């Protein structure tokens, strides 16, 4: 097929203002396209060479393209610049400069253009710039002025016809299957493969029947299922038919894992290949996924390696880099929490119910601290759901995602639907004051903190009851020296049971008599099902907790435990925080 046909179609598409007309023009283009080059035509029409997840872009810098245009049109680069300035678009400028140009050699075919652009995209290393310029120059010499305009726009990433994925699917349905109603089948295939070219090819070769048989496959990322949102456990349960699996909504990055034997590839929520960023995740998958081939979805979350506690999303962002990956991996380790399985050893699971998929997940994952299934609760009870939500918040999550468990709860690739409903805290606020808290217990450390304490259980003072009520578990902010000193400093308070004046639902590894006071700052105060400070004051069956607490480095030896921050103070800090949020 001659590239001229495409250039003509682009010209017409560019002039249309309506989507219907645009679709019709695409239908005409796809109808005249031979099957063999249909995928290429589909990619080119969106200004691409491959589906996005492949990560190969034509991407020639404008500066280089100008040089190639100057050589092809036998004018100076300054002349090209001048035209570019006057017309505001290098494609138009090229067409103007090449007016009257007689193409050399045979007419350009789609295949010629595609393979040259592909060669340009793949050129790398020393001399690659020169190579790209030469390839582009030679291609332009073979092009008509109009063809040159669209080639230049394509290579500089400025084709911008505005042809969206859904328009392509509509046009394919009409052009090759004869009716727009087949769009749903094509859309499903697209959602399972993220590859419009592959969908077009399957349709062209095997008709709609083949498209309907489409399966997920390792190496083709699946467009993610997303959640709707509701504001109360009652509404959520009602919407989900009275029963659901509630899962922690981890605050990290969604990772779609594609495993084929030892080969593991990771895709982001936007389906970019992020394998290089997470060598540790690759190792975790190899070590803990028992299936040979699988597609699994996880949330990667930054953790404190010494306590295993979750860290805020901002810490994970340090992992988004191209260089220094090993260092970042040491400084900001992650855990993986799996929440979906879509394929296992030849079996497409996307049309199975979530209960079945979840059972499969449990079967193929050998859990460890660093790789396990997302914390979950199967419930029919709004109160139980509310408590689970509070626990999720306290443990450093954004909230919960409640998932339908009825037989029709399939994986809705690429859709935001009511089979998943998120229940989030929708306020964010900072705790501005530090608090002085009493050390009432400790948890043994792991990893670097083996042999010392990994985290301390801290309490606020309740003068009315004369009790110390737990309010947080703090493992951050301690220097190496602090860690070494802590067992020595706390030795005099050590007990083998909870002190009678300590009120805690949490079981510490070591208990202390109230004595040591330390200064702590946190991200905010939240409702908590496990901490007893302010129990029942804001909501029945809930206390208050400090989220993401950090030791400021100050031991308040000048304070007795009875001088510590009181539960009343924590309650009023929580109420102030709510007001600030309401006002903002
Ligand atoms: P948000 O800003 O709320 O994350 P979103 O549009 O990215 O919005 P949602 O549909 O609202 O996505 O929520 C789903 C996201 O939550 C997923 O993309 C995933 O990254 C994350 N997540 C964390 N834990 C889970 C879980 N257990 N199940 C599903 N998704 C989870």
Show me where the domains of the chain are located. 226-427, 434-583
Give the tokens for residue 474. 């703090």
pLDDT in tens, 520-551: 999 889 999 999 999 999 999 999 999 999 99
**8 Å CB contact between 551 and 458:** no
Give yes or no: 31 in active site. Answer: no
Compute, in angstroms, the gap from residue 227 CA to the centroid of ligand 1.
7
The Cα 412–Cα 485 span in angstroms is 53
Using CA atoms, how far apart are residues 558 and 349, in angstroms rounded to an integer? 62
The C-alpha atoms of residue 149 and residue 160 are separated, in whole angstroms, by 13
Q: Which pLDDT belongs to residue 470? A: 98
Judged by average pLDDT, the poorest of 93-107, 343-357, 372-386 is: 93-107
Q: Is 500 helix (H, G, I), strand (E, B) or coil?
A: coil
Using 50, 70 and 90 to split pLDDT, how confident is the model at 581? low
| Ligand 1 centroid from CA 250, angstroms | 8
Cα–ligand 1 centroid distance for 470 (angstroms): 31
Q: Do domains 226-427 and 434-583 have the same CATH topology?
A: no
Pocket of ligand 1 from Cβ distances under 6 Å: 224, 226-227, 247-250, 254, 269, 299, 339, 374, 401, 422
Cα dihedral 367→373→377→378 (10° resolution): -100
434-583 has CATH 2.40.50.140 classification: yes
- Write the residue with the smallest CA distance to atom 19 of ligand 1: 254
pLDDT tens digit string along 265-289?
A: 999 998 999 999 999 999 999 999 9
C-alpha to C-alpha distance for 8 and 321, rounded to whole angstroms: 42
Going from the C-alpha of 499 to that of each of 469, 503, 513, 565, the distances in angstroms are 11, 8, 6, 19
Mean pLDDT score, 357-364: 98
Sorted by sequence, the CB contacts under 8 Å of residue 60 that are 6+ apart come out as 120, 132, 136, 155, 156
> Is the pLDDT score of 427 beyond 60?
no
- Tell which CATH classification among 3.40.50.300, 3.60.20.10, 3.30.470.30, 3.30.2010.10 matches the domain 226-427: 3.30.470.30
Residue 319 has pLDDT above 80, yes or no: yes
Strands (E), 194-348: 226-229, 244-249, 253-260, 263-267, 293-302, 334-344, 347-348
Tokens of 469: 């009520």
Question: Among residues of the chain, what percentage have pLDDT more than 90?
Answer: 79
What pLDDT, on a 0 to 100 scale, did the predictor assign at position 428?
47
More confident: 408 or 579: 408
pLDDT in tens, 130-188: 999 999 999 999 999 999 999 999 999 989 888 889 899 999 999 999 999 999 999 99
Residues facing residue 437 across a β-bridge? 518
Other Cβ atoms closer than 10 A to 381: 13
State yes or no: pLDDT of 312 exceeds 90: no
Spot the catalytic one: 48, 149, 249, 259.
249
- The model's pLDDT over 14-54, given as tens digits with 9 standing for 90+, comes to 998 788 899 999 999 999 999 999 999 999 999 999 999 99
Six token digits for residue 271:
């389906």
Instruction: Say if residue 148 is exposed, middle or buried (CB neighbours under 10 Å; 0-12, 13-18, 19+).
Output: buried
| Global model pTM greater than 0.85 | no
Mean pLDDT of 545-568: 91
Identify which of 221, 268, 269, 299 to mutate to test ligand 1's pocket (most ligand atoms within 8 A of the CB): 299
Sheet holding 244-249, edge to edge: 226-229, 416-424, 399-404, 244-249, 376-379
Taking only the tens place, the pLDDT of each residue in 433-479 is: 889 999 999 999 887 787 889 999 999 999 999 999 999 999 999 99
Rounded Cα distance between 31 and 26, Å, is: 8
């Amino acid at each position: 097929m001659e590239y001229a046909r495409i250039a003509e179609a682009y010209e017409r598409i560019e002039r249309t203002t309506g989507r219907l007309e645009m679709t019709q023009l695409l239908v005409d283009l796809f109808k005249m396209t031979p099957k063999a080059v249909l995928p290429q035509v589909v990619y080119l029409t969106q200004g691409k060479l491959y589906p996005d997840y492949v990560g190969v872009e034509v991407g020639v810098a404008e500066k280089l393209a100008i040089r190639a245009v100057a050589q092809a049109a036998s004018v100076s680069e300054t002349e090209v610049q001048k035209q570019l300035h006057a017309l505001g678009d290098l494609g138009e400028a090229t067409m103007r400069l090449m007016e009257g140009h007689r193409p050399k050699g045979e007419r350009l075919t789609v295949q010629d253009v595609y393979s040259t652009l592909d060669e340009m995209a793949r050129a790398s290393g020393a001399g690659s710039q020169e190579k790209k310029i030469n390839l582009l120059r030679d291609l332009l010499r073979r092009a008509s002025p109009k063809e040159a305009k669209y080639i230049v726009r394509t290579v500089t990433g400025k084709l911008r016809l505005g042809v969206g994925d859904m328009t392509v699917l509509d046009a394919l349905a009409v052009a090759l299957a004869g009716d727009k109603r087949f769009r749903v089948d094509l859309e499903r295939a697209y959602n399972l493969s993220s590859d419009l070219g592959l969908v077009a090819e399957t349709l062209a070769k095997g008709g709609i029947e083949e498209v309907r048989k489409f399966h997920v496959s390792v190496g083709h990322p699946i467009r993610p299922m997303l959640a709707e949102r509701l504001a109360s456990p009652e509404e959520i349960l009602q919407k989900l038919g009275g029963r659901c699996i509630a899962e922690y909504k981890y605050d990290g990055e969604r990772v779609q894992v594609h495993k084929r034997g030892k080969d593991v590839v990771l895709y982001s929520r936007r389906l970019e290949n992020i394998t290089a960023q997470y060598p540790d995740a690759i190792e975790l998958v190899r070590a803990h996924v028992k299936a040979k081939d699988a597609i699994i979805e996880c949330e990667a979350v930054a953790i404190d390696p010494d306590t295993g506690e979750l860290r805020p999303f901002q810490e994970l962002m340090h992992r988004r880099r191209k260089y220094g990956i090993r260092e970042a991996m040491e400084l900001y380790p992650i855990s993986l929490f799996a929440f979906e399985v879509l394929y296992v050893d030849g079996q497409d699971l996307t049309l199975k119910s979530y209960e079945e998929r979840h059972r499969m997940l449990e079967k193929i994952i050998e859990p460890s601290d660093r790789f396990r299934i997302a914390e979950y609760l199967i419930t029919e009870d709004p109160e139980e759901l509310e408590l689970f939500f509070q626990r999720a918040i306290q443990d450093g999550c954004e909230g919960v995602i409640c998932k339908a468990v009825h037989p029709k709860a399939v994986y809705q690739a690429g859709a935001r639907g009511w089979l998943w409903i998120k229940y989030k805290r929708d306020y964010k606020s900072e705790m501005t004051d530090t608090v002085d808290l009493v050390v009432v217990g400790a948890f043994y450390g792991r990893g670097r903190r083996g042999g010392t304490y990994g985290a301390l259980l801290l309490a606020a003072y309740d003068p009315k009851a004369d009790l110390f009520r737990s309010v947080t578990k703090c493992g951050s902010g301690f220097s190496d020296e602090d860690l070494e000193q802590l067992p020595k400093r706390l030795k005099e308070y050590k007990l083998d049971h909870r002190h009678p004046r300590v009120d805690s639902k949490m079981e510490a590894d070591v208990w202390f008599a109230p004595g040591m006071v330390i200064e702590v700052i946190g991200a905010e105060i939240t409702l908590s099902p496990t901490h007893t400070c302010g129990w029942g004051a804001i909501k029945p069956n809930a206390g208050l907790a400090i989220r993401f607490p950090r030791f400021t480095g100050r031991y308040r030896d000048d304070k007795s435990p009875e001088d510590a921050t009181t539960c009343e103070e924590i309650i009023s800090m929580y109420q102030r925080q709510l007001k600030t949020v309401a006002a903002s």
